[in-house]
Amino acid sequence: MAKESNRTTGISDYLKGLSQNAGSPTYRSHKVALKAYERWCSREGLAPEHPKHADIAAFLESRLVDCDNSLETAQGHLCSLSNYSAIDARADPRLTKVRIATHLNPSLSSPVRRLRHRVLGPFCADHSPNGSPAWAVDQLLSHLRRHQYGTRTHAIAATIADTRGGLHQVRSLDVGSLDTGNESVELPVSGDYFVADTIHPSWKVNLSTTTSDVLATYLSYERTNASVGETSPLFTTNHGRVSTSTIRRSIRAESKKALSYEDFRFESVGCSSKGIDSEEEQIVYPSDIRWAAIKREVQE
């Protein structure tokens, strides 16, 4: 009996935290999904704690194929299990959902194929939800490396691309969040977490050597010294932590400049010609950088 109790502690703690931080409908839907997953794991001889993405995908396939769950129910289970898995692994719940969906086998049934498409479809398209083509993001990043190396805009864009973090998460980074020696950063938990404050405040994300070098250059030569209360923001202006609107404007402005450079070599996957997009469609925003980074991961 003690062994069985240990196996369910993680889910029990998660649900306990959720009951204190979410409304009753949200709590009930998560409880239904997690208990169903727990029963499935018992039948399959798997431990429900520390779930593997492939195991969650197999569970969802069984719900759609064997249990005849609706697509909406399966999608709800995916969201619940993504949130739980992300908290367990200290990861981003949105990325976790995408990574689980890559394990869904589209050949099993039409519902499985449709669920996979609902999650991965936006990242299989040639253009972001904003309408920007993937190659325009590559063009922007190339322009920043060549002409704006180590600037605040370059450092922010590179951090978003490397961590796949959201704009608000990257903006809220402090100097202490960054460990250039170990090439990593502690990314703050996003608002997608229902029980973030009861579990952990951040998760560690490894950085590429290229991005670490960009951030080191930014800290040494470009960062404006500023503090907000007792914190020391990583990305600053003369008035303190840089605003989201300032970040959007600066990235948009640099993406316009990038269009004027003819030496960009077309390297992006999924678009055959720059000429099919209008200049306005080629403008890049922070969310487009994140979209392109996730798209690249999905296609690998």
Structural element, H or E, at residue 158: helix 152-163
**Mean pLDDT value across the chain:** 86
205-222: pLDDT as tens digits: 999 999 999 999 999 999
CB atoms within 10 A of CB 62: 17
Residues 6 or more apart in contact with residue 251 via CB below 8 angstroms = 140, 153, 156, 157, 284, 285, 286, 289
| Separation CA 135–CA 47 (nearest Å) | 42
Q: How far is CA 6 from CA 10, 11, 48, 49, 195, in A?
A: 8, 10, 11, 10, 21
Q: What is the CA radius of gyration of the chain?
A: 21
| Separation CA 137–CA 128 (nearest Å) | 10
Q: Beta strand pairing status for 240-241 and 202-206?
A: unpaired
Q: Residue 35's closest CA among 60, 65, 12, 62? A: 12
| SS3 state at 40 | helix
| Separation CA 116–CA 103 (nearest Å) | 9
| Separation CA 152–CA 159 (nearest Å) | 10
**173 and 159 Cβ atoms separated by less than 8 Å:** yes
119-131: pLDDT as tens digits: 999 999 999 999 9
| Separation CA 173–CA 218 (nearest Å) | 14
Domains of the chain by range and CATH?
Answer: 2-124 (1.10.150.130), 134-299 (1.10.443.10)
pTM as predicted: 0.85
User: Which of the residues in the chain have pLDDT under 70?
Assistant: 1-9, 190-201, 227-230, 261-281
The predicted pLDDT at position 143 comes to: 95
Q: Beta strand pairing status for 178-179 and 184-188?
A: antiparallel
The predicted pLDDT at position 14 comes to: 86
Residues 6 or more apart in contact with residue 288 via CB below 8 angstroms = 128, 130, 132, 136, 137
The predicted pLDDT at position 7 comes to: 37
